[in-house]
Structure 1
């Protein structure tokens, strides 16, 4: 006699992370309502929306900062309510925020291992293994195609795009299965944005599931497999790449029918 279970059987197509009709409220304020999202290994799921659309709340739920109030949040088919970012990391979810949690005056290798420094020696002779950290940082960045001049240079001397790329390589090295990127190209120019998107694609090709939060449909369409559009805390659309063109995605992002109404109103005036 076999024991029945409510757990969802894990298959190759089971999402690494799945939000199903998720809602979040702060008192009487609706931050998210009825939002669904799937994140698969080797794919990039893009979440698009203007300021106030609910993107930050969505990130905080996936990253373990806040718990959802309704709906289902699943990690590899298992219902989850994360209690902290550390718990999210333990489940393989790494989040890289727009402002990047780095110490500008510390060298690149020190930031790469910040909070997870390997040591050598025992007792009073125990100390950080600096040589290992230097060599590992250099090797892991090269493996992602990032060739820095010197890993001893302060990370604050790198460009914004280079710092984003170091953060992506760090997440890959420490075993992330899901990488959540909060507006990684928002403050970057065209060339630096292209560099970051190249390494986002490299993380995808390494088998990670990537959540790309952005307000730029052109950047999203360059790398995305799935697209979720948020507006005032609700979903205004959900598409796979073969269901929507860049022009239609841009139009939806710009307001769709609301934009048409505005055009007619301006023409009358």
Structure 2
């Protein structure tokens, strides 16, 4: 009994440490809670009320024309007049300095975008954490990774209507919940060999964000075994802000069971529960 209590206490402490790091990153001064706008660039010059300069994009990439008295900070150096950022790779981006914060210049779904981030944004300064299910070893599940012969290009929708993302899926993860066999298409994770899954389940739109949740999975072992710790299922930025372009799960990743673990619907979305 003592060993069981010790193991449970250690499990909860590890989860609490992970939660603290995760929320610190989310609420960082220039994290996603600091995003104040989402601007889509076209070949026509546009001026945006919260940014310096007139912006457009084309074959040569993103270009800004700064008027007298306007400037950006690029690589630590002040920039005035016309500045070209060059073509930006899909899901790539760079960050430049603006008055009161920073500006993300990025490419999502084949389109170039601008997202200013300011630490004094009310969404960030008023952030009080994200509600979660209590951590429990019940939702730490073993699974098996089944690689595809070749990665499968997989098109998924986005939190922004009309936008699509394409990811190469290297394989799927097979597991079960209470004897129900399930599978999830997996994408590459943030570290070499690791995996990431996007999913919805029977709690989506009820106690959790309706559009998606994400789970990071460590690299499979030599026998292709993996561990799915749904206590660490997280919201994507679109759960907090309308200025995100998050991908939606592949259709086959809509789980028919209630995954009562991980992050719940953010407090900021309670008024619009059920909307994606």
TM-score normalised over the length of structure 1: 0.26
User: Which structure features the higher share of helix residues?
Assistant: 1
Which structure carries more relative contact order (alpha carbon 8 Å, separation 6+)?
1
User: Which structure features the higher share of strand residues?
Assistant: 2
TM-score normalised over the length of structure 2: 0.25
